[in-house]
Structure 1
């Protein structure tokens, strides 16, 4: 039976980027589709730290004055434009954060054309996107799980498998904390036959263990965790890959943990942006800035998730569509264990 479309829909918008209180639930007409577009019934959305920055006015890329927030969603294709070839009604899809980044190195134009930034995101009941900016979600995932992939999962996948040298079995990966990127990093590294070392504050060790971490270090009680991580790594050679989430204030320890010619993937600044150390002259490591990933990488990752039956870690509290402000606060207060998801009724 065909989905009966309403005349109007509900969507969240941000006009003033100065706090979560400026998130507003409004009524809007259904988006129209062009020749190469599809109309999607959005079923679930997940939040990222990037969404918090946008709402608070601290994001570093240009923003649309009034924007529908959130880049990560999963939904069902209801209608397809006459020239669409990649999807059909019934397809289960997620959006590519940088809509025009199909393959290869990201360009400045790609980086600006992002969902929830210059382009409307997924916090709405219906959405329309060009078929080129969408990916089919793995068949083994629910709507909620499929909504977690576009930013955090793809960032972790790119960090481990998207560079000039991809992660190999037997290598060592170090992840920081229990955010989405780190948990996906654990899962992808474990699936690839690597050893995982993780850092955390202590109370969330169980989720890291379940995600595949072999060794877990408490960075609060062990401020020199970089040295300890190297001692624990296979052959005591250090981590071949470090997923650097903390920023300047954790970078020195990441260098201490890394192996000779290891790769430090520069991803975030969760530990603060106060002045930290630059790359020490004695650190024989490479750094690689990660800007999420391409659609081609998203498709590769989705195949790996399905073949290995990897299940994203979703926080136990799932928010309703009317609770978006509460979901933002929940993520900001670091209460989540896994991805924060909003159901879209």
Structure 2
């Protein structure tokens, strides 16, 4: 029986990840077998392997929600894809359209079910989508979680319009995608970072205003100055408890804050008066559905947009890739090339 390599997380910590051999699965009715070409790491993956993820996680688990694969075999009745198609697995395997339901979390790759850090994957055909032809395998692998989260925040939930002002925090994967999508839509972007070098990269991608939050810790007030007191239409909030106060200062009256991450902490005081004073719309964002993913892919292809990749590792270097993610020093996405 032919076998494949998979990385598994059984004990907490990325340093305890290990490779094991498993049989290559065969697709049943309605299923497709993918030969995986690449994967990418999100902050969520690091807390899954630390066993600190709030959602249900099976153990042992194959990590990673994000990947790119080629369809190499299909089961009976498959119509969405054919052998030879290049696809991305969807973050939520059962969320096809409409609002999110609680049970979808049980089908989240790399948490509820085994993820993409494997040489082959067998999935239901509805849980994969075709991807933009101009992107490399590594670039495709960045799309399912970070890109769709940014797309949902701006276009599906935030209702982005041309001319809007968007604030992105830092230069990680979601923030860089949000910057690029905002510019694609004709919006202006304020980028914040603790590094002037990283801010210059954001400027190259189209950021119209740059704020170093180490030298300007009250960056919310700085956003208000830049907008003559008007404030930002949308704030892409990836920091969490440590940045929410400044996000509320930065957002305009009636503006939108999309809460995505907890990089600076998951618990803090609730600034109720600021929320009321700004009449702010605040919503947690949890990736997105298949319809939105396919809309996003069409937009990426039309604009010939290319994701920002900051570091690349080989399949056998998965632990090093997790270490790089934990360091929070990489601009854009960290990807894993399965051919190396």
Q: TM-score range by the shorter chain?
A: over 0.9
Q: Measure how far apart 1:82 and its partner are.
A: 1.6
Q: 2:180 aligns to what SS in structure 1? A: helix
**Aligned-partner Cα distance in 1 for 2:277–2:253:** 10
Contact 2:105–2:112 (Cα < 8 Å) also in 1: no
Residue 249 of structure 1, CA deviation: 1.3
Three-state SS of the structure 2 residue aligned to 1:39 is strand
In structure 1, C-alpha distance between the alignment counterparts of 2:17 and 2:59, rounded to whole Å: 13
For residue 68 of structure 1, give the secondary structure of its aligned residue in structure 2: coil
Looking at structure 2, the residues matched to 300 and 57 of structure 1 have their Cα atoms a distance apart, in angstroms, of: 33
Match of 1:114 in 2: 108
* Structure 1 residues 281-292: aligned runs within 5 Å: 281-292=276-287
1:331 aligns with 2:330: no
SS across alignment from 1:340: strand
What is the aligned residue count? Answer: 336
1:236, distance to aligned residue in structure 2 (A):
4.2
Aligned counterpart, 2:73? 79
In structure 2, relative to structure 1, the CA distance for the partners of 1:52 and 1:11 (3 Å cut) is same
Secondary structure of the 1:38 match is: strand
Q: TM-score, with normalisation over the residues of structure 1? A: 0.95
Gap runs ≥5 in structure 2: none
Instruction: State the 1:277 CA deviation.
Output: 3.6
Aligned to 1:174: 167
Task: Return the alpha-carbon distance in structure 1 between the equivalents of residues 7 and 100 of structure 2.
Answer: 29
The whole-number CA distance in structure 2 between the counterparts of 1:134 and 1:118 is 17
Which of 289, 300, 307 is residue 305 of structure 1 equivalent to?
300
Counterpart pick for 2:150 among 148, 156, 180: 156
Partner of 1:231: 225
Structure 1 pair 82/274, CA: closer, same or farther in 2 (3 Å)?
closer
Give runs of ≥4 in structure 1 deviating > 6 Å: none
**Distance in 2 (alpha carbons) for counterparts of 1:83 and 1:135:** 17
Q: CA deviation at 1:334?
A: 1.4
Question: Is the contact made by 1:251 and 1:276 (CA closer than 8 Å) also made in structure 2?
Answer: no
Give the TM-score, by structure 2 length: 0.96
The separation in 2 between residues aligned to 1:27 and 1:196, in whole angstroms, is 46
Distance in 2 (CA, whole Å) between partners of 1:206 and 1:34 is 50
Whether the 8 Å CA contact 1:249–1:277 is kept in 2: the answer is no
Q: Which runs of 5+ in 1 are unaligned?
A: 1-5
Output the CA distance in 2 between the equivalents of 1:128 and 1:217: 45
